[in-house]
Structure 1
Amino acid sequence: MNNAIRHTWVVSVAMFVTLFAALSVIQVALTDELNRNENNARQIIADRGAPRGPITVDGSPIAESVPTDSGQFDYQRVYHDSELYSGITGFYSISEGPTGLERSLNEYLSGQSDSQFFDRITALFTGETMEGAQVELTLDGELQRLAFDQIPDGTRGSIIVTDLRTGDIKAMASKPTFNANHMAVHNSEEYTQNKERVEAIEGLRMYQYRPINEPIFPGSTFKIVDAVAMLESGDYELDTELENPDSIQLPQSNHRLPNLVTGNCHQRSEAPFIWIFAQSCNTPFAEAAMELGEDAIRDAAESFGWNESLSIPLDVTASHFGEMTSEAELAQSAIGQQSVSATPLQMNLVAAAIGNGGTMMHPQLVEVIRGSDLQILDQPGPEVLHDVTDEDVAEQITEMMVETVNSGTAQSAQSDRFQIAAKTGTAETGEEGVYNTWITGFAPADDPQYAVTIVYERIDYQTGTSLVGPQLRTMLEAVITE
């Protein structure tokens, strides 16, 4: 009898151990694999109705999950002031999955990151609902609102403000925009209808964010890159006299490259480099690019990050400096046309690097990521992205950008509070009377703190130029405290 009881006990213990081991393997070792399985409908429903972590600005959520009684999901994703932030947050859709930060930080927001492993185990044994991590952004809410309100409705505009000493993005606003709440609905039919309305907004690409994903011709703001190549060559100084014809015949081409007719370049057929830069004369820069050669201009561009993708952690589309097939193409590219394109963030990085003494900091949108118990899971710190040029060259270009504001094409950006350094740009789009209008700069010029870039795409010349200079001043005066 005792042997029978003993055998029964041994078998029972063995079965318990086997069951416990199997559950452990399934619940722990295979959890992530099972959760990712596209056939796991239960997990899909659980994920899409789970309490994702909030995305916050200045301590307040701009995206959060709130309990809901409607439908099969327990939580609804809600976006606050979404028109200001939808390009950054993206949206969490039951039909398509996440976009924007909802996608790039999905593991943290859903609670599935490696650093949240023990939280998942705790929730498993306690039966509590697993909450995602909180993502705190570097954005300044008031500055974001100001930038957004500066952009007129009906235009295709972008404004970026960064702390050039750390790389923190303080504002990144764009129009046209959309309300991410319309894409986060739980009803598939309603989602389809809303998507059609959003996609019909003129000039909007729902899955791309204009400041970081749509490279366009940068126009004369690219002359900052040319200036680095010119000064580094040793053949140019600020007082070097350069020929400044009204136009030049491009080699092996029927095309003549002119200076901008509405500018002051026609006043002088020869002028110092600093004057040429401030007045943004095309012909001397085109001649210099052909003299220096493609490699010199390309090296300068790539030192600023051209042809390089980036994560902030949103994916940033690489700005493009193409292979030149002729000197004519190089000349036109040197003035920010033809085979050169740039995102607004790229041109902001150019100004920021010059203001930071030639050192480019990695741009960053995330301040810190905290677990549900507020412990820090990730905290990106300042990081050098590129050593673009030496401090002496950066100081000389700063001097030229200051002259551009004092007496050149950026006079409308002048401030009575501090000295601003800036460079303007006007790029043809291939459509008569329609341009990309740019300005990028930083302040204070003698102690640089913040860089601002503003661009309006496909806009008439007068409207574009009337907007960018004053708005640059407004944004810098708002962010700089003395």
Structure 2
Amino acid sequence: MNVPIRRVAIVMLAMFLVLMAATTWIQYVQASSLNNDPRNVRTLYREYGNNRGSIVVGGEEIALSTPVEDVFGYQRSYTNGELYAPLTGYYSVVYGRSALERSANGYLNGSSDSLWWSRVQNLISGEDPQGSSVELTIDPAAQQAAWDALGNQRGAVVALDPATGAVLAMVSKPSYDPNLLAGHTSADVTDAWNTLQSDEGDPLVNRAIAGNTYPPGSTFKLVTAAAALENGTVDADTLIDAPDQLQLPQSSSVLRNFGGSTCSGSGTMTLADALRISCNTAFGQLGIDVGDDALAEQAEKFGFGSELSIPMRVTPSRFPTGPEGKGLDGAQTALSSIGQFEVAVTPLQMAMVSAAIANDGELMTPYLIQQVRTPDLDVAFEASPSEFSTPISSETATALSEMMVGVVRDGTGTAAQISGVQVAGKTGTAENREDAPPHAWFTGFAPADDPQVVVAVVIENGGDAGSEATGGRLAAPIARSVMEAVVSR
């Protein structure tokens, strides 16, 4: 073989080896990333060609797929779309998935490891792959009651079963219709998306668990009271300082009570009475006495700062740590003790605080999926309630529960009363911006002596009441409606 031919042969062999290496790299190493690339139209066609499983509430499908005569094969649709949108999310050929459509995607499209036997059966039988149905913990009556009671106000409602952690209701407003994003006409879907993106109400955000967290206002006094009770320095009947105004340490500012009111003519009152009328100065001083480290530790036990999935990701709530994590000064501690300064929470977090109190000090992990059923109706997954933490003792839980009953009986939360049912609760009115009305809060549970439901409600920027808003006026009646829907069933 002469030299030129040998050189050509070597070049051809090298090119063949490079081609083999490139093919192997693409088909094996890059296979997963290429399949999951949203620009891969074949992936879209393959996924939409499967019969995606339903999302079910109370035996009714709230998200389902039906056959259509187009390249995608199936059309995703949502019943009561706006009511359940914060839970279902959207399933879009243009914008992908959100909420449960994303976090439960493995169940819904049949690719979850727990569904491997169904996939084997489909392979053997030659049947088209089919997803599994996802059955939620939501109580339809409680969900509807929360939706109706919230009206056109911006905010969120969360209800839990304190004994298990099951989410009974989760409403966020404003909401949106996910059917608008599930269409197969890209231009229409894009127009709908752009409209939602430009909406100042942020309807795509589930305010119950994500987005911009809120200052909790006086609902955080439950955490402050828990820290004080846990360290053994006070009980419900202990007299604590309750001045007309509290000079904040290391500051020229003073802390006043709501509306400049007087909590006690004597300047002292019991812890129970301070919680009942939500005395700011009493809890500001109590927080200083307890200390920021104890407050931060107690908040952490309730779940502040924790990464949580229900299975949608929950934005962690936050108790401030001060500059460079070096702790709070006296003024910052006092303000944090009443749920102001830089304390920031989700409604779910405040529901978890009340849930621990209602459940004798044991906090259960919140969850949204009750079970998963294969197309053959076999149960592929069944929820098993688990303990998240034990943030307070049984004794502290009992004391807080009794104090919260006083709040609803003849304190700031009387609008949450239910005839014939003892209700425990705590109101909150949280300042957030100087140029905006306060957020209105309520969290509580019923029946107080045998809790079946825990609720947390937040209404943004005064809702219908504007600058006259308080948690007792706006949020408490909404909580009452949701609790009634559960305890009357």
Given the two structures, how large is their TM-score scaled by the length of structure 1? 0.89
CA drift of 1:468 comes to: 1.7
Give the corresponding residue for 1:52.
52
CA drift of 1:466 comes to: 2.4
Match 2:263 to one of 259, 262, 265: 265
| SS at 1:213 equivalent | coil
Which amino acid in 2 is paired with 1:46?
R
Give the corresponding residue for 2:252.
254
Cα offsets for 1:181-234 (capped at 9, x unmatched): 01111122111101111223332251x310001321000000000011111111
Which amino acid in 2 is paired with 1:291?
D
Q: CA RMSD in A?
A: 2.2
Give the corresponding residue for 2:320.
322
Match 2:311 to one of 293, 310, 313: 313
Query: Aligned in 2, Cα 1:371/1:68: closer, same or farther, shift over 3 Å?
Result: same
Matched, 1:212 2:209: yes
Give the corresponding residue for 2:12.
none
Give the corresponding residue for 2:194.
196
Check whether the contact 2:146–2:481 (CA below 8 A) recurs between aligned residues: no
Distance 1:348 1:363 in 2: 10
Distance 2:28 2:87 in 1: 33
Query: Aligned in 2, Cα 1:37/1:435: closer, same or farther, shift over 3 Å?
Result: closer
Give the corresponding residue for 1:42.
42
Check whether the contact 2:241–2:285 (CA below 8 A) recurs between aligned residues: no
Which amino acid in 2 is paired with 1:269?
G
Distance 1:434 1:157 in 2: 14
Give the corresponding residue for 1:119.
118
Distance 1:143 1:386 in 2: 26
Give the corresponding residue for 1:420.
423
Give the corresponding residue for 1:128.
127
Distance 1:225 1:433 in 2: 26
Check whether the contact 1:90–1:100 (CA below 8 A) recurs between aligned residues: yes
Give the corresponding residue for 2:406.
403
Instruction: Give aligned pairs, total.
Output: 454
Bigger shift: 46-55 or 299-308?
46-55
Distance 2:180 2:418 in 1: 41
Check whether the contact 1:166–1:361 (CA below 8 A) recurs between aligned residues: yes
- Percentage of matched positions with identical amino acids: 40
Match 1:233 to one of 231, 242, 247: 231
Give the corresponding residue for 1:156.
154
- For structure 2, the residue ranges without an aligned partner over 5 or more in a row are 1-26, 323-327
- For structure 1, the residue ranges without an aligned partner over 5 or more in a row are 1-26
Check whether the contact 2:408–2:425 (CA below 8 A) recurs between aligned residues: yes
Given the two structures, how large is their TM-score scaled by the length of structure 2? 0.88
Check whether the contact 1:348–1:451 (CA below 8 A) recurs between aligned residues: yes
Distance 1:49 1:368 in 2: 25
Which amino acid in 2 is paired with 1:237?
D
CA drift of 1:461 comes to: 4.4
CA drift of 1:117 comes to: 2.2
Give the corresponding residue for 1:79.
78
Check whether the contact 1:264–1:279 (CA below 8 A) recurs between aligned residues: no
CA drift of 1:264 comes to: 5.9
| SS at 2:151 equivalent | coil
Check whether the contact 2:356–2:362 (CA below 8 A) recurs between aligned residues: yes
Distance 1:210 1:39 in 2: 30
Distance 1:132 1:185 in 2: 20
Which amino acid in 2 is paired with 1:151?
L
Which amino acid in 1 is paired with 2:479?
L
Give the corresponding residue for 1:16.
none
Which amino acid in 2 is paired with 1:462?
E
| SS at 1:404 equivalent | helix
Distance 1:441 1:139 in 2: 18
Check whether the contact 2:107–2:132 (CA below 8 A) recurs between aligned residues: yes
Distance 2:182 2:486 in 1: 33
Check whether the contact 1:162–1:169 (CA below 8 A) recurs between aligned residues: yes
Give the corresponding residue for 1:242.
240
Query: Aligned in 2, Cα 1:418/1:39: closer, same or farther, shift over 3 Å?
Result: closer
Give the corresponding residue for 1:19.
none
Bigger shift: 263-272 or 216-225?
263-272
Query: Aligned in 2, Cα 1:263/1:143: closer, same or farther, shift over 3 Å?
Result: farther
| SS at 1:320 equivalent | coil
| SS at 1:62 equivalent | strand
Alignment of 1:167-178 (within 5 A): 167-178=165-176
